[in-house]
């Protein structure tokens, strides 16, 4: 089972000056309080959460175009595995689905990756003509656990990919479909760090 794109709240993202930043000194841990929608998400404390409970959870960087959305939906496919999802992935359908929201979307890497709780499908891609007016990179992950489908989607300005992708990878590696996960998997998450970039005209 491959889930539809779940990115939301694009209007909240803006491309301003990109400030220099040091390594993240701490992380925040958010756990679902709903027994029928358990999860744990661990993220650099610079990210600002919103939503949650019965709504998608959004993590947004306050000063650069970087956002992650977590969505949970009921599914019937109890035989789902990350590897089978990868094997059955239809490139054309994926591209067409994302291109409805992100014109010029092209599919990039397709693989499996570990959440803290188990394997997930991962693919990424780029939109050259996004609603933001700037090229965007999109990283999509999904998994199924106990009849629930989880998607963790992140997007960021392609021009800051070298700085933003490590943060995204950290969030993905530390996401769990259970509410009792511990911190942290992998190296310390980096904050976005680079010289200032002028706003796109």
Q: What is the DSSP letter of 191?
A: P
Q: Is the peptide bond before 184 cis (omega within 30 degrees of 0)?
A: yes
Q: What does pTM read for this prediction?
A: 0.83
Domain positions in the chain are 29-173
Q: Under 8 Å CB-to-CB from 98, ≥6 apart: which residues?
A: 5, 105, 125, 127, 138
pLDDT confidence bin for 1, thresholds 50/70/90: low
- Which pLDDT tens digit goes with each residue over 111-144? 999 999 999 999 999 999 888 889 999 999 999 9
Q: Which residue has the higher pLDDT, 188 or 198?
A: 188
* Cα 80 from Cα 57, distance rounded (Å): 23
What φ, ψ does residue 183 adopt, rounded to 5°? -95, 140
What's the mean per-residue pLDDT of the chain? 84
- Which pLDDT tens digit goes with each residue over 54-74? 789 999 999 999 999 999 999
**Cβ contact 122:109 at 8 Å:** yes
Residues β-bridged to residue 160: none
Q: Under 8 Å CB-to-CB from 100, ≥6 apart: which residues?
A: none
Overall fold of domain 29-173: Protein Transport Mog1p; Chain A (3.40.1000)
Q: Which of 34-48, 72-86, 162-176, 182-196 has the lowest mean pLDDT?
A: 182-196
Q: What would the two tokens of residue 6 be?
A: 């779940």
């Amino acid at each position: 089972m491959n889930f539809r794109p779940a990115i939301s709240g694009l209007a909240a993202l803006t491309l301003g000056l990109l400030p220099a930043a040091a390594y993240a000194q701490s992380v925040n841990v958010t756990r679902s309080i709903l027994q029928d929608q358990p999860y744990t998400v661990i993220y650099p404390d610079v990210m600002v959460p919103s939503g949650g409970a019965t709504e998608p959870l959004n993590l947004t960087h306050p000063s650069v175009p970087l956002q992650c959305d977590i969505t949970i939906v009921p599914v019937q496919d109890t035989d789902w595995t990350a590897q089978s999802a990868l094997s059955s992935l239809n490139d054309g359908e994926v591209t067409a689905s994302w291109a409805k929201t992100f014109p010029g979307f092209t599919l990039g890497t397709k693989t499996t990756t570990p959440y803290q709780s188990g394997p997930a499908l991962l693919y990424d891609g780029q939109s050259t003509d996004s609603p933001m007016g700037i090229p965007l990179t999109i990283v999509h992950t999904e998994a199924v656990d106990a009849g629930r489908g989880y998607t963790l989607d992140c997007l960021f300005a392609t021009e800051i990919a070298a700085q933003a992708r490590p943060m995204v990878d950290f969030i993905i590696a530390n996401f769990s479909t259970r509410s009792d996960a511990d911190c942290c998997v992998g190296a310390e998450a980096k904050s976005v760090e680079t010289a200032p970039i002028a706003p796109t005209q």
